[in-house]
Structure 1
Amino acid sequence: MNQEGFLSNINTILNQVVLGTPLYKWALALVVLLFFLLLKNLFSAIIVKSIRTVVSRTKTSIDDKLLLMIESPLRFLFVVIGLWLALDIINLRADILQHFVRSLFIIMVFWIFYNGINVFTDDIYKFSQKFGKELYKEIGSFLIKATKAFIVTIGFLAILQEWGINVTALIASLGIGGLAIALAAKDTAANFFGGLTILADKSLKIGEWVKVGSVEGIVEDLGMRTTKIRTFEKSLITVPNQYIANNPIENFSRRNVRRIKMTIGLVYDTPGETMKKILKDIKEMLENHPGIAKDQTMLVFFDKFNDSSLDIFIYTFTNTADWIEYMAIKEDINLKIMEIVEKNGSSFAYPSQSIYIEKVPEKLTFFDDSRNSTEH
């Protein structure tokens, strides 16, 4: 085949029409798109890197944060321009092309605002401290999530408006469907206002040990709709804010003492004087113990005559709410009570029964296997 014939075949192939567009235009559109993708990578590797070096030398951090806001959207801009030119080359209808490109620009703009929330997260938390330092993390997290949801919603509505959809008329025309959506969103609204109620009441915050209904654990996140609680089995439970707002909350982290309540049983042959001495020694030990809260209720009493023990009731509080410290104090008290009981010559009782026979018959009759009786 000569050169003219080869070129003729190439020309024929390139002029083949695919989906109403010659093949050479498809190839040119692909080349243009790949070229702008290459420019995007060069922009990231050279220009952005150079700008980052410059802003890192300034005293303020605002320029660094602004660069982080626009860096990803600017890279996306190269993709938008490449798609725009590529679609124009393949003769896509002008109105669709314009709407598509404008939609991408809208996404890019709202992307910058969304990045701004992530970049200025620390500043939002500092701002939320004005509403109270105790719950600034929860308030800041709530503001961040609410603002992100607002940005995404407005961006979505802007894209609908760009494509000629009248958002106001669309909502008004939903009719029964809108009512159904409103009813479906009822729980979402209730959870939202439940979250606001939790923040207003300051009933819990991140890091606290709480119990709501049957759910008990450490609060990990307080969101607009739900609160996440990590149980002591390390499973994560997501609780609707509405449920938390409408149920009693037991907040263990906000107590400064923890209760010790126990009943110990001594053997029945413990003399009365020994019992009095044991009660006195236990009470003195608790009053002098460094881990016991002296301003709280303290009870040490001979409580009752149980079936197999003489019961002593002990009721007091530790001066800490920390679980590990509480267990250490409780262990020390248990050991000291053992020492007191042993020192006074008594011992702890265990469940038992004694059977007393007033008189044993002189003759007992036993039956053997052959059912013949024998007297002894």
Structure 2
Amino acid sequence: MEFFSKIFYGNTITDWCIALCILLGSFIITKLFYWLFANVIKKITSKTKTTLDDVLVDKLEKPIIYFILILGYWISIHWLNSSDWAENILPNLEKIASLALFINITSVISKVVDALFSEVVMPITEKTEGEFDDQLIPVIRKGIRAIIWILGIIVSLDNVGFDIAAMIAGLGIGGLALALAAQDSVKNIFAGIMIFLDKPFKMRDRIQISGFDGIVEEVGIRSTRIRTLEGRIVTIPNCTFTDNSVINVTSQPALKIKLNLGLTYDTDENQMQKALDIIGEIVSENSSIVEENYFAGFNQFGDFSLNILFIYYIKPDAHWLDSQTVISKEVLKRFNAENLEFAFPTQTIFKKEIK
């Protein structure tokens, strides 16, 4: 047909239609691959013993889809090969395709390395006795990913015609400004190195710092993440640990618990002794308490109660809150069974009649 033979921007309408069909075809193929991943490949990998293939499939699914789209884009622009097109527009489109391709390849390499760390390296380090490798591996993992992306971006820019040497030389001019802007980051990085060397805490330790109390979940090169007792994640710059005192709760040999029990003034001597005996029995029966270090005694005549001071220590391997709950419930249960009444604030008022 004469219409399809017409020239439009240096190419026939037929060539433009073919290029468009190639581009649309790449979209259709991506939909097909999405279906294959969801209904075939993932089902196959889910039946294998290892989880590495499952992780690789999840991480490589999108890069493969992007590669198909980039390939379709590349073929379609090369189908339009007239001289005017080639001289004016094609080089720029080729650079875009090349840049996208190299970034996609970089993403694939980064995701594969990340999967190897998460599914191969980290399970091995978790089986070791030391904690140092558990802290170091996440830092190495992030460092390698950063290096991969830096190299990938450099190669991508060099491939599309940027003068990398000139860009690196230009960094020297702005180096001072960059250094001033990155003072805090550099400070945090050095603080992170000091944390690794000094080891004031390790992964899964409970620490207290700057008003935060929680479990260490990740120690990074710039910051450390802890999960507070309320369940919130707090990211703390590493310089905070070098500038402030850190209390490592986990490192203490035992957790001291101080409990004040107030009985009513109706309590007699025998009942008071019974209360102390009950506390001793609870301590001897509870494996989470350091038995030889507990103290219990009638220590005070309060304003409205006869006070018993009960001090005990929870072993490091026992959960601090669960242990307190069990002991407090047992005290309540046994005191109630023996009719030992807990006191609450009361006042006795004497009225004197004046004649």
Q: Output the CA distance in 2 between the equivalents of 1:130 and 1:257.
A: 26
Residue pair 1:124, 1:144 contacting (<8 A) in 2 also: no
Superposed CA offset, 1:126-182 (max 9, x none):
454598543554433333222222211221122222344344533443466432222
Range with bigger deviation, 139-148 or 331-340: 331-340
**Alignment pair present for 1:317 and 2:313:** yes
Superposed CA offset, 1:175-206 (max 9, x none):
66432222222222333344444444161314
Q: CA, structure 1 residues 349+41, in 2 after alignment: closer, same or farther (shift >3 Å)? A: closer
Q: Output the CA distance in 1 between the equivalents of 2:124 and 2:280.
A: 52
What residue in structure 2 maps to residue 281 of structure 1?
Answer: 277
Residue pair 1:291, 1:318 contacting (<8 A) in 2 also: no
What residue in structure 2 maps to residue 165 of structure 1?
Answer: 162
Q: Partner of 2:261: helix, strand, or coil?
A: strand
What residue in structure 2 maps to residue 350 of structure 1?
Answer: 345
Q: CA, structure 1 residues 337+37, in 2 after alignment: closer, same or farther (shift >3 Å)? A: closer
**Alignment pair present for 1:142 and 2:139:** yes
- 1:327 Cα deviation (Å)? 0.7
Write out aligned runs for 1:63-82 (5 A).
76-82=66-72
Q: Flag the structure with more relative contact order, 1 or 2, with Cα contacts below 8 A and sequence separation at least 6.
A: 2
Q: Partner of 1:203: helix, strand, or coil?
A: coil
**Alignment pair present for 1:15 and 2:7:** yes
Q: Output the CA distance in 2 between the equivalents of 1:291 and 1:56.
A: 43
Residue pair 1:110, 1:152 contacting (<8 A) in 2 also: yes
What residue in structure 1 maps to residue 73 of structure 2?
Answer: 83
Out of 119, 122, 125, the residue aligned to residue 119 of structure 2 is 122
Residue pair 1:341, 1:347 contacting (<8 A) in 2 also: no
Q: Output the CA distance in 1 between the equivalents of 2:216 and 2:234.
A: 10
Out of 17, 41, 60, the residue aligned to residue 27 of structure 1 is 17
* Structure 1 unpaired stretches of 5+: 1-6, 363-376
Q: CA, structure 1 residues 107+126, in 2 after alignment: closer, same or farther (shift >3 Å)? A: same
Matching residue's letter, 2:176: L
- 1:217 Cα deviation (Å)? 3.5
Work out which of the two has the higher radius of gyration on C-alpha atoms and give 1 or 2: 1
What residue in structure 1 maps to residue 180 of structure 2?
Answer: 183
Residue pair 2:256, 2:311 contacting (<8 A) in 1 also: yes
Identity among equivalent pairs (%): 24
Superposed CA offset, 1:201-231 (max 9, x none):
161314x544332223444444443333344
Superposed CA offset, 1:62-90 (max 9, x none):
99998888776565444334323322316
Write out aligned runs for 1:210-221 (5 A).
210-221=207-218
Matching residue's letter, 1:228: R
**Alignment pair present for 1:103 and 2:99:** yes
Q: Give the alignment's TM-score, normalised by structure 2.
A: 0.72
Q: Output the CA distance in 2 between the equivalents of 1:278 and 1:175.
A: 80
Aligned length in residues: 344
Residue pair 1:258, 1:321 contacting (<8 A) in 2 also: no
* Structure 2 unpaired stretches of 5+: none
Q: Output the CA distance in 1 between the equivalents of 2:32 and 2:288.
A: 69
What residue in structure 2 maps to residue 328 of structure 1?
Answer: 326
Q: Output the CA distance in 2 between the equivalents of 1:70 and 1:122.
A: 15
- 1:95 Cα deviation (Å)? 4.4
- 1:39 Cα deviation (Å)? 5.8
Q: Partner of 1:350: helix, strand, or coil?
A: coil
Matching residue's letter, 2:155: A
What residue in structure 2 maps to residue 368 of structure 1?
Answer: none
- 1:328 Cα deviation (Å)? 1.0
Aligned-residue CA RMSD (Å): 4.6
